[in-house]
Amino acid sequence: MNLALFDLDNTLLNGDSDFEWSQFLITIGVLDRELFEAKNLAFYEHYKAGTLDIHEFLDFQLKPLSRHARKTLDEWHLQFMRDKVMPMITPQSRELVAKHQAAGDICVIITATNSFVTAPIAREFGIEHLIATDPEHKDGEFTGRVAGVPSFREGKITRLDNWLAERGWTLDSFADSTFYSDSHNDLPLMCKVKHPVAANPDATLRAHAEQHGWPIVSLR
Protein backbone atom coordinates (compact mmCIF):
# COMPACT_ATOMS: atom_id res chain seq x y z
CA MET A 1 0.00 0.00 0.00
CA ASN A 2 1.38 3.39 -1.06
CA LEU A 3 0.55 6.95 -0.01
CA ALA A 4 0.39 9.84 -2.50
CA LEU A 5 0.21 13.35 -1.03
CA PHE A 6 -0.54 16.39 -3.17
CA ASP A 7 -0.21 20.05 -2.33
CA LEU A 8 -2.96 21.99 -4.07
CA ASP A 9 -2.16 25.61 -4.88
CA ASN A 10 0.38 26.04 -7.68
CA THR A 11 0.88 22.26 -7.62
CA LEU A 12 -2.30 20.53 -8.79
CA LEU A 13 -3.72 23.95 -9.61
CA ASN A 14 -2.11 26.39 -12.01
CA GLY A 15 -2.76 29.19 -9.52
CA ASP A 16 -3.60 29.77 -5.87
CA SER A 17 -7.17 29.09 -4.75
CA ASP A 18 -6.62 30.90 -1.43
CA PHE A 19 -5.54 34.11 -3.16
CA GLU A 20 -8.16 33.77 -5.88
CA TRP A 21 -11.02 33.27 -3.39
CA SER A 22 -10.35 36.68 -1.84
CA GLN A 23 -9.96 38.22 -5.30
CA PHE A 24 -13.26 36.62 -6.31
CA LEU A 25 -15.04 38.14 -3.29
CA ILE A 26 -13.59 41.51 -4.25
CA THR A 27 -14.75 41.09 -7.85
CA ILE A 28 -18.37 40.32 -6.89
CA GLY A 29 -18.43 43.23 -4.45
CA VAL A 30 -18.47 41.27 -1.20
CA LEU A 31 -15.13 42.71 -0.09
CA ASP A 32 -14.07 46.29 -0.61
CA ARG A 33 -11.30 46.40 -3.21
CA GLU A 34 -9.51 49.38 -1.68
CA LEU A 35 -9.37 47.79 1.77
CA PHE A 36 -8.70 44.16 0.87
CA GLU A 37 -6.81 43.84 -2.41
CA ALA A 38 -3.51 45.31 -1.19
CA LYS A 39 -3.66 43.11 1.93
CA ASN A 40 -4.38 40.02 -0.13
CA LEU A 41 -1.42 40.73 -2.41
CA ALA A 42 0.84 41.42 0.58
CA PHE A 43 -0.08 38.14 2.29
CA TYR A 44 0.58 36.25 -0.94
CA GLU A 45 4.04 37.83 -1.27
CA HIS A 46 4.83 36.91 2.34
CA TYR A 47 3.75 33.33 1.61
CA LYS A 48 6.05 33.11 -1.39
CA ALA A 49 8.90 34.63 0.62
CA GLY A 50 8.41 32.19 3.50
CA THR A 51 7.59 35.00 5.95
CA LEU A 52 3.83 34.53 6.28
CA ASP A 53 2.29 34.86 9.74
CA ILE A 54 -0.31 32.13 9.28
CA HIS A 55 -2.53 33.27 12.16
CA GLU A 56 -2.61 36.86 10.92
CA PHE A 57 -3.45 35.61 7.45
CA LEU A 58 -6.19 33.26 8.69
CA ASP A 59 -7.80 36.12 10.60
CA PHE A 60 -7.92 38.01 7.28
CA GLN A 61 -9.07 34.96 5.29
CA LEU A 62 -11.68 33.50 7.63
CA LYS A 63 -13.38 36.62 9.01
CA PRO A 64 -15.38 37.19 5.79
CA LEU A 65 -16.82 33.67 6.10
CA SER A 66 -18.43 34.62 9.42
CA ARG A 67 -20.28 37.59 7.93
CA HIS A 68 -22.42 35.58 5.53
CA ALA A 69 -24.80 32.63 5.76
CA ARG A 70 -23.38 29.27 4.76
CA LYS A 71 -26.03 28.91 2.06
CA THR A 72 -24.89 32.16 0.46
CA LEU A 73 -21.23 31.18 0.73
CA ASP A 74 -21.96 27.84 -0.94
CA GLU A 75 -23.71 29.62 -3.82
CA TRP A 76 -20.74 31.93 -4.28
CA HIS A 77 -18.40 28.96 -4.22
CA LEU A 78 -20.24 27.32 -7.11
CA GLN A 79 -19.54 30.41 -9.20
CA PHE A 80 -15.95 30.50 -7.91
CA MET A 81 -15.42 26.90 -9.00
CA ARG A 82 -16.82 27.57 -12.45
CA ASP A 83 -15.12 30.90 -13.13
CA LYS A 84 -11.80 30.62 -11.28
CA VAL A 85 -10.91 27.07 -10.25
CA MET A 86 -11.82 24.99 -13.29
CA PRO A 87 -9.51 27.01 -15.59
CA MET A 88 -6.65 26.35 -13.13
CA ILE A 89 -6.96 22.54 -13.36
CA THR A 90 -4.53 21.23 -15.98
CA PRO A 91 -4.75 17.94 -17.88
CA GLN A 92 -1.34 17.00 -16.47
CA SER A 93 -2.65 17.33 -12.91
CA ARG A 94 -5.68 15.19 -13.66
CA GLU A 95 -3.45 12.56 -15.29
CA LEU A 96 -1.07 12.49 -12.31
CA VAL A 97 -3.90 11.95 -9.83
CA ALA A 98 -5.50 9.33 -12.08
CA LYS A 99 -2.19 7.47 -12.33
CA HIS A 100 -1.91 7.15 -8.54
CA GLN A 101 -5.57 6.21 -8.20
CA ALA A 102 -5.22 3.52 -10.86
CA ALA A 103 -2.27 2.11 -8.92
CA GLY A 104 -4.47 1.80 -5.84
CA ASP A 105 -2.56 4.43 -3.86
CA ILE A 106 -4.15 6.27 -0.94
CA CYS A 107 -4.46 9.79 -2.34
CA VAL A 108 -4.60 12.86 -0.08
CA ILE A 109 -4.64 16.57 -0.81
CA ILE A 110 -2.78 18.36 1.98
CA THR A 111 -3.05 22.14 1.82
CA ALA A 112 -2.80 25.26 3.95
CA THR A 113 -5.89 26.68 2.25
CA ASN A 114 -9.05 26.31 4.31
CA SER A 115 -11.35 23.37 3.79
CA PHE A 116 -14.36 25.49 2.79
CA VAL A 117 -12.46 26.64 -0.30
CA THR A 118 -10.70 23.34 -1.02
CA ALA A 119 -13.20 20.54 -0.30
CA PRO A 120 -15.10 21.05 -3.58
CA ILE A 121 -11.78 21.17 -5.44
CA ALA A 122 -10.72 17.84 -3.92
CA ARG A 123 -14.05 16.37 -5.04
CA GLU A 124 -13.45 17.68 -8.56
CA PHE A 125 -10.19 15.69 -8.63
CA GLY A 126 -12.00 12.64 -7.26
CA ILE A 127 -9.77 12.66 -4.17
CA GLU A 128 -11.61 11.44 -1.09
CA HIS A 129 -9.12 12.55 1.54
CA LEU A 130 -8.40 16.20 2.32
CA ILE A 131 -6.18 17.64 5.04
CA ALA A 132 -6.69 21.41 5.09
CA THR A 133 -6.84 24.27 7.55
CA ASP A 134 -10.26 23.97 9.18
CA PRO A 135 -12.48 27.00 9.79
CA GLU A 136 -14.30 26.82 13.12
CA HIS A 137 -18.06 26.59 12.80
CA LYS A 138 -21.02 26.65 15.16
CA ASP A 139 -24.46 25.35 14.23
CA GLY A 140 -23.33 25.07 10.62
CA GLU A 141 -22.13 28.68 10.34
CA PHE A 142 -18.52 29.88 10.36
CA THR A 143 -17.21 31.82 13.37
CA GLY A 144 -14.28 33.47 11.57
CA ARG A 145 -11.74 31.57 13.64
CA VAL A 146 -9.53 28.58 12.89
CA ALA A 147 -10.17 25.17 14.45
CA GLY A 148 -7.08 23.25 15.55
CA VAL A 149 -3.65 23.37 13.98
CA PRO A 150 -3.34 25.17 10.62
CA SER A 151 -2.12 22.84 7.86
CA PHE A 152 0.93 25.00 7.11
CA ARG A 153 4.67 24.29 7.16
CA GLU A 154 5.39 22.05 10.21
CA GLY A 155 1.66 22.05 10.88
CA LYS A 156 1.24 19.82 7.82
CA ILE A 157 3.33 17.17 9.57
CA THR A 158 1.21 17.46 12.72
CA ARG A 159 -2.04 17.26 10.79
CA LEU A 160 -0.83 14.33 8.66
CA ASP A 161 0.42 12.42 11.70
CA ASN A 162 -2.97 12.91 13.39
CA TRP A 163 -4.83 11.85 10.24
CA LEU A 164 -2.71 8.71 9.96
CA ALA A 165 -3.05 7.89 13.67
CA GLU A 166 -6.85 8.08 13.41
CA ARG A 167 -6.59 5.22 10.92
CA GLY A 168 -4.01 3.21 12.84
CA TRP A 169 -1.21 4.16 10.45
CA THR A 170 2.11 5.97 10.41
CA LEU A 171 4.20 6.97 7.40
CA ASP A 172 6.11 3.73 7.93
CA SER A 173 2.88 1.79 7.33
CA PHE A 174 3.29 2.47 3.62
CA ALA A 175 5.69 0.74 1.27
CA ASP A 176 6.12 4.08 -0.47
CA SER A 177 5.11 7.66 0.30
CA THR A 178 5.25 10.49 -2.23
CA PHE A 179 4.58 14.20 -1.79
CA TYR A 180 4.20 16.63 -4.68
CA SER A 181 4.63 20.33 -3.92
CA ASP A 182 5.69 23.58 -5.54
CA SER A 183 6.67 25.48 -2.42
CA HIS A 184 9.66 25.73 -0.11
CA ASN A 185 7.09 26.15 2.67
CA ASP A 186 6.49 22.40 2.31
CA LEU A 187 10.11 21.36 2.83
CA PRO A 188 9.42 20.10 6.39
CA LEU A 189 6.94 17.51 5.11
CA MET A 190 8.86 16.79 1.91
CA CYS A 191 11.81 15.74 4.05
CA LYS A 192 9.59 13.23 5.88
CA VAL A 193 8.30 11.21 2.93
CA LYS A 194 10.24 8.59 1.00
CA HIS A 195 9.83 10.32 -2.37
CA PRO A 196 9.52 14.12 -2.41
CA VAL A 197 8.74 15.54 -5.85
CA ALA A 198 9.16 19.22 -6.71
CA ALA A 199 6.21 20.06 -8.96
CA ASN A 200 6.33 23.46 -10.67
CA PRO A 201 8.81 24.44 -7.94
CA ASP A 202 9.63 27.94 -6.76
CA ALA A 203 13.29 28.95 -6.98
CA THR A 204 14.13 27.92 -3.42
CA LEU A 205 12.53 24.50 -3.72
CA ARG A 206 14.09 23.93 -7.16
CA ALA A 207 17.55 24.63 -5.77
CA HIS A 208 16.93 22.28 -2.84
CA ALA A 209 15.59 19.57 -5.13
CA GLU A 210 18.58 19.84 -7.47
CA GLN A 211 20.98 19.69 -4.52
CA HIS A 212 19.34 16.57 -3.09
CA GLY A 213 18.54 14.78 -6.35
CA TRP A 214 14.77 15.04 -5.99
CA PRO A 215 12.63 14.66 -9.14
CA ILE A 216 11.40 17.93 -10.65
CA VAL A 217 8.22 17.81 -12.75
CA SER A 218 5.95 20.27 -14.49
CA LEU A 219 2.16 19.95 -14.30
CA ARG A 220 1.60 22.82 -16.69
CATH number at residue 94: 3.40.50.1000
Distance in angstroms (rounded) separating the CA atoms of residues 135 and 71: 16
Domain hosting 161: range is 2-217
Give residue 61's pLDDT: 86
Distances (CA, A) of 6 to 68, 69, 101, 175, 192: 30, 31, 12, 17, 14
Q: Which of 49-53, 63-67, 185-189 shows the highest mean pLDDT?
A: 185-189
Give residue 34's pLDDT: 85
For residue 118, what pLDDT band results from cuts at 50, 70 and 90?
A: very high
Give residue 35's pLDDT: 82
pLDDT tens-digit series, residues 30-44: 999 988 888 889 998
Residues with catalytic annotation? 7, 9
**Backbone torsion region of residue 15, taken as left when φ is above 0, otherwise alpha when ψ lies between -120 and 50, otherwise beta:** left
List phi, psi (to 5°) of 213.
70, 25
Cβ atoms 181, 7 nearer than 8 A: yes
For residue 138, what pLDDT band results from cuts at 50, 70 and 90?
A: very high
Structurally, the chain folds into a number of domains equal to 1
Q: Is the pLDDT of residue 60 over 90?
A: no
Give residue 215's pLDDT: 98
Give residue 6's pLDDT: 98
Q: Is the pLDDT of residue 143 over 90?
A: yes
Average pLDDT of 61-83?
Answer: 94
Percentage of the residues of the chain whose pLDDT score is greater than 90:
86
Q: Is the pLDDT of residue 59 over 90?
A: no
Q: Is 35 exposed, middle or buried (0-12, 13-18, 19+ CB in 10 A)?
A: exposed
Cβ atoms 217, 199 nearer than 8 A: yes
